[in-house]
Chain A
């Protein structure tokens, strides 16, 4: 009974050619989510209180997780919400709690050289716009539909390997775990009072 139930559930949840699962109202959701993401980004760079900036960044991260869902990347969306919005931003909020002195939130927001920074960013924006206008032909309009139900399995087989062979990115995965270990050691040692 249990194997049959398993197969039935798999058949229901991994089919992607079901016409009931076609995406609807894609432009509406795209403009809504990208508007939220850009609004969140704008609030990050302009709010005076760093806690407001952290909350705006959480808004941006969750909007981007939804954009990843629209791009048929459910695993990356889940990683983004769990690790980025749920881990890194909590770390930022803890550090804001530790270092935010009252004087800092009443200070001026922008540093001494803000016109130079703004000019450099405008030059970068002009470069991007020219790249998009001139290189329009490089981004073909066809979008291949990636199957969504087996996305996690395919990402896992690229990271971990399958059927006894190493995956395409297994070595990079091990190096990334080594990087995390080094980062943990560095952060712990740096914040000790007496080494």
Chain B
């Protein structure tokens, strides 16, 4: 069996990143778009922790903790925006949220 190197973890992170990008670009439900953004952030976290192990320093892990903090703040604000919008227009469909169209 091939020993598991850093490249294996990077490939897994890239696959999760691409899945998250597909979710952001193609889903209709705004909540699922926000969840795909969380998937992207997790892929980046895996990348950072894998590189931290490769170099033997802990900077990548500290950066990963900061990204978790940032993801929490961003999820809270994004979902607050969604709730405020839902109260006005009663829809969570990205195709129908087009108030800024000319």
Contacts and interface: CB of A to CB of B under 8 A. Distances in A.
Interface of A: 26-27, 30, 34, 37-38, 41-42, 44-45, 50, 53-54, 57, 60-61, 64, 67-68, 71-73, 75-76, 79-80, 83-84, 87-88, 91-92, 95-96, 98-101, 104, 107-114, 116-118, 120-121, 124-125, 128, 132, 136, 139-144, 146, 151, 154-155, 158-159, 168-169, 172, 176, 179-180, 182-184, 186-188, 190-191, 193
Interface residues of B, number: 75
A125 B11 CA distance: 10
A57 B12 CA distance: 15
A143 B73 contact: no
B54 A140 contact: yes
Instruction: Name which of B3, B19, B56 has the most chain A CB atoms within 10 A of its CB.
Output: B19
A92 B35 contact: yes
5 contacts: A67-B12, A104-B92, A113-B26, A118-B25, A180-B73
B9 to A, nearest CB: 7
Given A41-B16, A121-B22, A144-B53, 7 more contacts: A41-B19, A44-B36, A76-B61, A100-B31, A132-B7, A139-B6, A139-B54
Contacts of A180: 69, 72-73
Contacts of A125: 14, 18
